[in-house]
Amino acid sequence: MHSHPNARLTQRGRLRLICQHLDQGRALPELAADAGISLRCAYKWLARFRAGGPAALADRRSVRRHQRRTLDPQQLQKAVDLRHQRLHLRHIARLLAAPFSTVARTLSRLGLGRLRNLEPRPPVQRYEWDRPGDLIHVDIKSLVRFRQVGHRITGDRQKGRSYGVGYDKVHVAVDDATRLAYVEVLADEQKPTVIGFLARAVAWFNGQGIECRRVMSDNGPAYVSRQFAVACLAMGLRHIRTRPYTPRTNGKAERFIQTLCREWAYTMAFQNSQERNAWLPRYLSIYNRIRKHSAVDLLSSGSMSCSAEQPAETQHLDPLHDD
């Protein structure tokens, strides 16, 4: 972008500065300070003037000294063909007599930088057990505790902070066939806590007429422990663990946690975490009895199984529960 001709830093202003230095004898540091430029820039203009006269003070294009190389269409097609033959990028660069960086950058832009991208992704295999209780998905979600409404609601970051309050551990159990859900908010995710939750969840499902046969979990420390395995055997459950770093294997629990957070934990401005937790039984009653599920042909969980009541020990937490 060029400025107007009378600006101090145009070709005319540079020539005026050089003439004041050479003809009037003014010091170059003083002239540079008056012009608002660095002394190094003033010496650069002086050197250009001595080398090429006034014409050398004109603006020069800002171009890269070394232009980035590209592959011509023939080289590009050959590089793609060689890559589909699973050749290494350095081997392709040698065959094309092109820089490795150019070949790697071009193929990465086309999505061929990694060999695994050459193979199509395997189709998603969606599974669903037919009978209720054939598979129960369990997982844990951490929700931060808070003493007051946060800054996302109030807009005040100083007054909306709650220091040192820790996290609530939301333990969930979801039936694969009916999407019937059992949830508890507990203090931690230690082995005794996880085993106790599983026992209460199995008992609650049994109370709904659902006999649990299998349980699926991720590879969390409590789930891979020997104590958890012994507890599953005692309850007559076959324990299935997901593939490491593959949460989609336990996708029904992950999706239920997303729904739980959106429709319960983040649905309104709770005054504190205790009030948020107190609303959980009411939401579960709506989720299990009334809410329609697209994955089960827009039926509610309660219509696909027996009556979906929450356990008696958690019903007293419902602020709107009718006795």
Please state, in angstroms and as integers, the Cα–Cα distance from residue 125 to each residue in 122, 242, 249, 250, following that order.
9, 14, 10, 12
Q: Is the pLDDT of residue 317 over 50?
A: no
User: Residue 180: is its pLDDT beyond 50?
Assistant: yes
User: 3-state SS of 230-293?
Assistant: HHHHHCCCEEEECCCCCHHHHHHHHHHHHHHHHHHHCCCCCCCHHHHHHCHHHHHHHHHHCCCE
* 52 in a structural domain: yes
In a domain, 1, yes or no: no
Query: Which of 75-89, 93-107, 209-223, 283-297 is predicted least confidently?
Result: 283-297
Report the C-alpha gap between 173 and 253 in whole angstroms.
7
Percent share of the chain, pLDDT over 70: 85
Q: Hunting for tokens 């299998």 — which residue is that?
A: 214
* pLDDT over 90 at 62, yes or no: no
Q: Residue 98 contacts by C-beta under 8 Å, 6 or more apart in sequence?
A: 69, 71, 75
Do 45 and 110 reside in the same domain of the chain?
no
**Both tokens of residue 286?**
């709506």
* C-alpha radius of gyration, the chain, whole number: 35
Q: Tell whether 323 is covered by a domain.
A: no
Provide the token pair at 151. 């800054």
pLDDT > 70? residue 64: no
Q: Read off the pLDDT of each residue in 197-226 and give the average, rounded to a whole number.
A: 95
pLDDT number for residue 164: 72
Residue 320 inside a domain? The answer is no
State the Cα angle at 79 between 77 and 84, rounded to 5°: 95
pLDDT of residue 5: 57
Q: Are residues 38 and 150 in the same domain?
A: no
Looking at residue 150, its pLDDT comes to: 77
Question: For position 320, what pLDDT does the model report?
Answer: 32
The CATH number of the domain holding residue 162 is: 3.30.420.10
Rounded Cα–Cα distance for residues 164 and 159 (Å): 15
The pTM of this model reads 0.60
Note whether 147 and 103 are same-domain residues.
no
Which residues on neighbouring strands pair with residue 171, listed in sequence order?
A: 140, 184
pLDDT band, residue 263 (cuts 50/70/90):
very high
For all residues of the chain together, what is the average pLDDT?
84
**Into how many domains does the chain fold?**
3
Q: What is the mean pLDDT of residues 37-47?
A: 91
Res. 40 pLDDT band, cuts 50 70 90: very high
Q: Is the pLDDT of residue 222 over 90?
A: yes
CB atoms within 10 A of CB 168: 20
Contact 103, 93 (CB under 8 A): yes
